[in-house]
């Protein structure tokens, strides 16, 4: 494992499988009366969120507390950031307080990499979403969910599986992280979106592109619907919501054209009636709630490997550290 988790592109196949397999073992805790491990006792983890978040922030906090870490929640609203304090000064303040890891979500693409590449912090940096760039732990929990449904078992990947990611690719950090991770695990990824919602240079990405959702659905093992991120838009990218929903929304009729084993995914938050209808969102084939539960296990695995049981691959680490396996820690 490397010292930081900034991008899904930084993960090798072995790295990704190590995280997924560790998450599989840690997921067993959720069925216990006492769900805690002492792995990170005495370690301080700061959740540094400059953007609003419900699932990711709560998921990280639950994961940290289940590993017995000391958790500090930092929100830009109501802090010195609102008075003009820079990211550097905020990071130096956290370092002075002895933070062992920082989970950062920021509206600027590259903020997590800037923090990880600086000497402002001596601990690990975990990217919880930076602008429209990446969201690696979301990609990991998506891959974890897909593997459980499509190729269950420790050490297994997603080789040969066909995954469609549909919607606002242009503004989606989830799509960017997923295309890196899923192709690393052997999956075949297809982006489906109107031309205006595809980024420039997408022909160089390791994926196929289609503008026709109906032609793609009968061939997929999983389809991931993305929300249209209006808060990041400064122009009209499609004529009307009704037309977008008609061309790129997933309804019951389209669900019926998918193979019986295929699943429907969504990183959340969902906009029912736009990219996905209520009957599909509430269908047994929709894994949205399962993804949230899996997110806790995956983030526990990332924290465990970075802080509790990792041997750092980069020379910037002060020293290599090892601990017992998750089974022994239990």
Which residues are known catalytic residues? 55-56, 83, 105, 135
CA 261 to chain centre: 23
Q: Which DSSP symbol is given to 271?
A: -
CA 182 to chain centre: 12
Q: Pick the closest to residue 89 from 120, 112, 46 (CA basis).
A: 120
Q: Pick the closest to residue 106 from 44, 56, 167 (CA basis).
A: 56
Cα–Cα distance, 266 to 166 (Å, whole number): 10
User: Phi and psi dihedrals of 69, rounded to 5?
Assistant: -75, 155
Give the SS3 label for residue 70.
Answer: strand
Structure-token pair, residue 21: 């397999």
Q: Pick the closest to residue 307 from 128, 69, 127 (CA basis).
A: 69
Report yes or no: 202 and 33 within 8 Å, Cβ to Cβ.
no
Give the SS3 label for residue 222.
Answer: strand
How far apart, in Å, are the Cα atoms of 163 and each of 28, 30, 170, 221? 27, 28, 18, 6
Let me know how long the chain is.
Answer: 330
Q: Which DSSP symbol is given to 10?
A: G
């Amino acid at each position: 494992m490397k010292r930081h988790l900034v991008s899904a592109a930084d993960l090798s196949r072995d790295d990704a499988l190590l995280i997924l397999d560790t998450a599989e073992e840690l997921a067993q805790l959720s069925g216990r009366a006492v769900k805690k491990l002492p792995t990170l006792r005495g370690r301080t983890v700061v959740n540094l969120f400059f953007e609003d978040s419900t699932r990711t922030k709560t998921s990280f906090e639950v994961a940290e507390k289940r590993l017995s870490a000391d958790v500090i929640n930092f929100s830009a609203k109501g802090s010195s950031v609102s008075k003009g304090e820079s990211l550097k000064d905020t990071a130096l303040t956290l370092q002075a307080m002895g933070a062992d890891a920082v989970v950062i979500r920021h509206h600027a693409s590259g903020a997590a990499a800037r923090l990880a590449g600086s000497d402002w912090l001596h601990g690990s940096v975990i990217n919880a979403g930076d602008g429209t760039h990446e969201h690696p732990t979301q990609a990991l929990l998506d891959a974890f969910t897909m593997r459980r449904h499509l190729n269950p078992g420790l050490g297994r990947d997603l080789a040969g599986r066909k995954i469609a990611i549909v919607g606002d690719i242009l503004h989606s950090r989830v799509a960017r992280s997923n295309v890196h991770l899923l192709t690393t695990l052997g999956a075949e990824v297809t982006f489906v979106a109107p031309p205006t919602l595809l980024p420039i240079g997408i022909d160089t990405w390791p994926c196929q592109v289609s503008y026709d959702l109906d032609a793609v659905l009968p061939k997929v093992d999983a389809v991931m619907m993305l929300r249209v991120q209006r808060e990041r838009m400064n122009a009209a990218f499609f004529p009307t919501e009704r037309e977008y929903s008609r061309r790129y929304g997933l309804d019951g009729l389209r669900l019926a054209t998918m193979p019986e084993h295929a699943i429907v995914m969504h990183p959340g938050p969902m906009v029912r009636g736009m990219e996905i209808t209520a009957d599909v969102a509430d269908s047994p084939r929709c894994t949205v709630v399962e993804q949230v539960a899996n997110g806790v296990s995956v983030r526990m695995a990332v924290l465990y490997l970075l802080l509790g049981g990792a041997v750092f691959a980069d020379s910037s680490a002060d020293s290599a550290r090892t601990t017992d396996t998750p089974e022994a820690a239990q």
